[in-house]
Amino acid sequence: MMKRLILLSVVLALAAPIHAQTGPIPVQFSMTLNKKKKQVSAGYGNAADYFVSSSLRIVVNNVSARPLTGVKVRWGMVQQNSYSSRRPVTYGAEETIDIQPLKEKIVETQPIQTRGREYEFIGKHGESILGYGAQVLIDGKVVAQKTVPVNFNIDFEKLTPIEEESGTRRR
Protein backbone atom coordinates (compact mmCIF):
# COMPACT_ATOMS: atom_id res chain seq x y z
CA MET A 1 0.00 0.00 0.00
CA MET A 2 2.83 2.37 0.85
CA LYS A 3 4.51 1.70 -2.53
CA ARG A 4 1.30 2.64 -4.35
CA LEU A 5 1.02 5.87 -2.40
CA ILE A 6 4.62 6.79 -3.20
CA LEU A 7 4.12 5.92 -6.86
CA LEU A 8 0.95 8.03 -7.01
CA SER A 9 2.68 11.03 -5.42
CA VAL A 10 5.60 10.74 -7.89
CA VAL A 11 3.21 10.62 -10.85
CA LEU A 12 1.29 13.65 -9.57
CA ALA A 13 4.52 15.56 -8.91
CA LEU A 14 5.66 14.92 -12.49
CA ALA A 15 2.28 15.81 -14.00
CA ALA A 16 1.92 19.14 -12.15
CA PRO A 17 4.69 20.99 -14.07
CA ILE A 18 3.40 19.63 -17.38
CA HIS A 19 -0.09 21.00 -16.65
CA ALA A 20 1.39 24.33 -15.54
CA GLN A 21 3.32 24.61 -18.82
CA THR A 22 0.44 23.75 -21.11
CA GLY A 23 -2.44 25.26 -19.16
CA PRO A 24 -5.56 26.57 -20.88
CA ILE A 25 -5.12 28.19 -24.29
CA PRO A 26 -5.79 31.94 -23.95
CA VAL A 27 -6.99 32.44 -27.55
CA GLN A 28 -9.59 31.06 -29.91
CA PHE A 29 -9.80 31.93 -33.58
CA SER A 30 -11.85 31.42 -36.69
CA MET A 31 -11.12 32.15 -40.33
CA THR A 32 -13.20 32.70 -43.43
CA LEU A 33 -12.13 32.67 -47.07
CA ASN A 34 -13.51 35.61 -49.04
CA LYS A 35 -13.59 35.21 -52.82
CA LYS A 36 -14.50 37.80 -55.42
CA LYS A 37 -14.73 36.61 -59.01
CA LYS A 38 -14.41 39.04 -61.88
CA GLN A 39 -15.19 38.09 -65.46
CA VAL A 40 -12.71 39.99 -67.63
CA SER A 41 -13.57 38.88 -71.14
CA ALA A 42 -16.02 36.79 -73.04
CA GLY A 43 -13.06 34.97 -74.58
CA TYR A 44 -13.21 32.95 -77.75
CA GLY A 45 -16.22 30.83 -78.58
CA ASN A 46 -17.10 28.83 -75.49
CA ALA A 47 -14.34 30.22 -73.19
CA ALA A 48 -14.27 33.15 -70.75
CA ASP A 49 -11.31 34.62 -68.88
CA TYR A 50 -11.65 35.45 -65.18
CA PHE A 51 -9.77 36.67 -62.11
CA VAL A 52 -10.51 35.58 -58.55
CA SER A 53 -9.37 37.67 -55.61
CA SER A 54 -9.07 35.53 -52.44
CA SER A 55 -8.38 36.82 -48.95
CA LEU A 56 -8.77 35.55 -45.40
CA ARG A 57 -10.66 37.13 -42.52
CA ILE A 58 -9.16 35.85 -39.27
CA VAL A 59 -10.91 36.64 -35.97
CA VAL A 60 -8.72 36.10 -32.88
CA ASN A 61 -10.47 36.11 -29.48
CA ASN A 62 -8.64 36.65 -26.19
CA VAL A 63 -10.53 34.39 -23.77
CA SER A 64 -8.27 35.18 -20.80
CA ALA A 65 -8.56 37.90 -18.18
CA ARG A 66 -5.18 39.43 -19.06
CA PRO A 67 -4.12 41.43 -22.12
CA LEU A 68 -2.05 39.60 -24.73
CA THR A 69 0.76 41.49 -26.43
CA GLY A 70 2.94 40.41 -29.31
CA VAL A 71 0.54 37.73 -30.54
CA LYS A 72 1.61 36.62 -34.01
CA VAL A 73 -0.87 35.53 -36.63
CA ARG A 74 0.61 33.65 -39.59
CA TRP A 75 -1.52 32.86 -42.60
CA GLY A 76 -0.95 31.12 -45.88
CA MET A 77 -2.76 30.17 -49.08
CA VAL A 78 -1.44 27.45 -51.37
CA GLN A 79 -1.83 28.24 -55.06
CA GLN A 80 -1.67 25.69 -57.89
CA ASN A 81 -1.17 26.60 -61.52
CA SER A 82 -2.59 24.12 -64.03
CA TYR A 83 -0.97 26.05 -66.92
CA SER A 84 2.53 25.01 -65.86
CA SER A 85 4.26 22.15 -64.10
CA ARG A 86 5.42 24.46 -61.29
CA ARG A 87 5.04 23.18 -57.76
CA PRO A 88 2.30 24.77 -55.66
CA VAL A 89 3.40 28.00 -53.97
CA THR A 90 2.38 29.04 -50.45
CA TYR A 91 1.77 32.79 -50.32
CA GLY A 92 1.31 34.39 -46.95
CA ALA A 93 2.49 36.73 -44.23
CA GLU A 94 2.77 37.24 -40.49
CA GLU A 95 1.19 40.02 -38.45
CA THR A 96 1.72 40.95 -34.79
CA ILE A 97 -1.31 42.08 -32.79
CA ASP A 98 -2.24 43.04 -29.22
CA ILE A 99 -5.58 41.94 -27.77
CA GLN A 100 -7.32 43.32 -24.70
CA PRO A 101 -8.88 40.88 -22.18
CA LEU A 102 -12.07 39.20 -23.42
CA LYS A 103 -11.93 41.12 -26.73
CA GLU A 104 -11.37 40.13 -30.34
CA LYS A 105 -9.07 41.37 -33.08
CA ILE A 106 -9.78 40.96 -36.79
CA VAL A 107 -6.96 40.37 -39.27
CA GLU A 108 -7.82 40.95 -42.93
CA THR A 109 -5.18 39.46 -45.21
CA GLN A 110 -3.89 40.81 -48.49
CA PRO A 111 -5.78 39.39 -51.47
CA ILE A 112 -4.17 36.81 -53.72
CA GLN A 113 -5.14 36.97 -57.38
CA THR A 114 -5.71 33.83 -59.39
CA ARG A 115 -6.64 33.78 -63.03
CA GLY A 116 -7.89 31.30 -65.51
CA ARG A 117 -10.20 30.45 -68.33
CA GLU A 118 -13.57 28.79 -67.96
CA TYR A 119 -14.66 26.59 -70.84
CA GLU A 120 -18.34 25.87 -71.38
CA PHE A 121 -18.03 22.10 -71.73
CA ILE A 122 -14.63 21.34 -70.12
CA GLY A 123 -14.65 23.46 -66.95
CA LYS A 124 -12.00 25.71 -65.41
CA HIS A 125 -8.34 25.77 -66.31
CA GLY A 126 -5.72 28.01 -64.67
CA GLU A 127 -4.65 29.00 -61.20
CA SER A 128 -6.57 27.98 -58.09
CA ILE A 129 -6.29 27.95 -54.30
CA LEU A 130 -5.71 24.37 -53.10
CA GLY A 131 -5.93 25.15 -49.39
CA TYR A 132 -5.37 27.80 -46.75
CA GLY A 133 -4.67 28.10 -43.06
CA ALA A 134 -3.56 30.20 -40.13
CA GLN A 135 -1.54 29.87 -36.94
CA VAL A 136 -1.61 31.88 -33.71
CA LEU A 137 1.70 32.12 -31.81
CA ILE A 138 2.28 33.41 -28.29
CA ASP A 139 5.89 33.80 -27.11
CA GLY A 140 7.05 32.00 -30.27
CA LYS A 141 4.94 28.89 -29.59
CA VAL A 142 2.03 27.78 -31.76
CA VAL A 143 -1.08 27.78 -29.53
CA ALA A 144 -3.71 27.34 -32.26
CA GLN A 145 -3.72 26.29 -35.90
CA LYS A 146 -6.38 25.60 -38.52
CA THR A 147 -6.20 24.54 -42.15
CA VAL A 148 -8.80 23.99 -44.85
CA PRO A 149 -9.07 21.19 -45.86
CA VAL A 150 -8.53 19.98 -42.30
CA ASN A 151 -5.65 17.58 -43.02
CA PHE A 152 -3.93 19.95 -45.46
CA ASN A 153 -0.26 20.53 -44.67
CA ILE A 154 1.03 24.11 -44.91
CA ASP A 155 4.65 24.94 -44.08
CA PHE A 156 4.19 28.26 -42.27
CA GLU A 157 7.99 28.63 -42.00
CA LYS A 158 8.37 28.92 -45.80
CA LEU A 159 5.80 31.52 -46.85
CA THR A 160 6.34 33.41 -50.10
CA PRO A 161 5.59 37.12 -49.69
CA ILE A 162 2.85 38.35 -51.99
CA GLU A 163 5.00 41.27 -53.19
CA GLU A 164 7.62 38.82 -54.51
CA GLU A 165 5.44 38.08 -57.52
CA SER A 166 3.59 41.39 -57.57
CA GLY A 167 3.20 41.34 -61.36
CA THR A 168 0.83 38.40 -61.27
CA ARG A 169 -0.47 38.24 -57.69
CA ARG A 170 -1.86 41.71 -57.09
CA ARG A 171 -3.87 43.72 -59.52
pLDDT at 45: 64
pLDDT at 37: 81
pTM: 0.75
Q: Which residues pair with 124 in a beta bridge?
A: 118
Instruction: Decide if 60 contacts 27 (C-beta within 8 A).
Output: yes
pLDDT at 82: 77
Tens digit of pLDDT per residue, the chain (171 long)? Answer: 655 545 545 444 444 443 334 567 899 999 999 998 887 766 566 777 888 899 999 999 999 999 999 999 999 999 988 777 678 889 999 999 999 999 999 999 999 998 888 777 777 778 889 999 999 999 999 999 999 998 888 999 999 998 744 344 433
pLDDT at 16: 41
* CATH code of the domain occupying 26-32+56-107+128-169: 2.60.40
Domain boundaries, the chain: 26-32+56-107+128-169
